[in-house]
């Protein structure tokens, strides 16, 4: 599922929360780790237990990581090639420094 989020903080503030006790809003509902490294189980648990947020894992490795799978709110074992292809930056981009190109070997 492709999700694009645009958050217009200026309009949100003036249209919804100015003058209310809700000026500090935490918009993060779910954290997602893209890893197959079991060393990240401890930080994953801290986020869940101490901060109270759900944490999912997308494991790009071919082998499952049982410790991550056992502690994550949700676990996916792969990243589909179509999702990777759709997530690429364009070949040519421009910023304040000028135009730059993705290396041809990528």
Is residue 1 included in any domain, yes or no?
A: no
The string of pLDDT tens digits covering residues 47-73 is 899 888 889 998 988 899 999 999 999
Residue 75's domain is classified under what CATH number?
A: 3.40.50.1010
User: Does residue 44 sit within a domain?
Assistant: yes
Mean pLDDT of 67-94: 88
In a domain, 58, yes or no: yes
- Distance between CA atoms of residues 93 and 69, nearest Å: 37
The model carries a pTM of: 0.63
- Say if CB 26 and CB 52 are below 8 A apart: no
Domains: count for the chain: 1
Range of the domain at 96: 28-101
């Amino acid at each position: 599922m492709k999700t694009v989020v645009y958050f217009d903080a200026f309009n949100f503030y003036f249209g919804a929360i100015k003058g209310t006790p809700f000026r500090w809003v935490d918009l993060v509902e779910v954290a997602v780790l893209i890893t197959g490294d079991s060393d990240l189980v401890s930080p994953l648990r801290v986020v869940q237990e101490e901060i109270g947020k759900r944490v999912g894992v997308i494991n790009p490795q071919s082998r499952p990581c049982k410790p991550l799978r056992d502690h994550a709110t949700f676990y996916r074992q792969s990243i589909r090639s179509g999702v990777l292809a759709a997530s690429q930056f364009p070949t040519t981009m421009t910023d304040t420094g000028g135009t730059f190109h993705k290396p041809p070997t990528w």
